[in-house]
Amino acid sequence: MVSKFNRLFLCFFLVINLIVLIGCGASHRNIKINLPLPIKETEKIPLRAGLYLDPKLMNYTKETLGPVSGLYLHMGKALSEGAENITKKAFKETIVIYTKDLELIPKGLDVIIIPEIERIYDDPTRRLPHLVKIKWTIQDINGKIYYMNAFSGEFKSKRGNTFTMIDKISEAYEIAIAEQFSKAYIGMTSANWWESIKKSTD
């Protein structure tokens, strides 16, 4: 149960932000992650992969600090660039594709990799970590699934005043996104799900 103090604090916080934003207009921030990601690379999976980037992932924008704050974090570029970065590290060859239409997909792909946003969590009180959870599916072009797993990254932002808060939350999401990609890389490369595919293509 939320205490009376916490309710008052949250209301005060949102009112202050609304006043600031009425004067300044909505605030937009592009989330960035440092590339290449600092991953301990292993031997590449000997397959030719197609990385499907859905428009929902590429254009994902998160409104943060509550529904009336007017603060928007554009995460799509960080999510799509991070996905491309780790799949190129994980597979012998990776081609980015923007469609699931079989007639438009390049020939000769062994698998299709599909990252999907499962949950991106934002706590206006910032008592809980900011969380990014992505589901990864690896299938053949006909939809047969060989691998599926979801990985989470999280980081709790530090407190600050109204003017520094967006910087702290942005930093928290950048760390959470990078952590998720590191876990996804380890998950995909540490399992032997690909061996049956390789045998069939030899």
Q: Where are the domains of the chain?
A: 25-201
How does the average pLDDT of the chain come out, rounded? 85
What is the C-alpha separation between 112 and 95, in angstroms, rounded? 9
Q: How far is CA 25 from CA 113, 121, 145, in A?
A: 39, 24, 46
pLDDT of residue 27: 80
pLDDT of residue 147: 97
Determine contact, residues 116/134, Cβ cutoff 8 Å.
Answer: yes
Q: Is the pLDDT of residue 4 over 70?
A: no
Determine contact, residues 47/197, Cβ cutoff 8 Å.
Answer: yes
Q: How far is CA 171 from CA 56, 141, 164, 174, 190, in A?
A: 22, 37, 11, 5, 29
Can you tell me the mean pLDDT for 31-36? 91
Can you tell me the mean pLDDT for 52-72? 82
* Least confident segment among 8-22, 87-101, 103-117, 175-189: 8-22
Report the 10 Å Cβ neighbour count for 93: 16
Specify the amino acid at residue 76: G
Q: Is the pLDDT of residue 134 over 70?
A: yes
Helix, strand, coil percentages (3-state) for the chain, rounded to 5, are 35, 30, 35
Q: Is the pLDDT of residue 14 over 60?
A: no
More reliable by pLDDT, 84 or 128: 84
- Name the architecture of domain 25-201: 3-Layer(aba) Sandwich (3.40)
Confidence band of 136 (pLDDT split at 50, 70, 90): very high
* Least confident segment among 70-79, 88-97, 147-156: 70-79
What is the C-alpha separation between 182 and 193, in angstroms, rounded? 19
Determine contact, residues 82/33, Cβ cutoff 8 Å.
Answer: yes
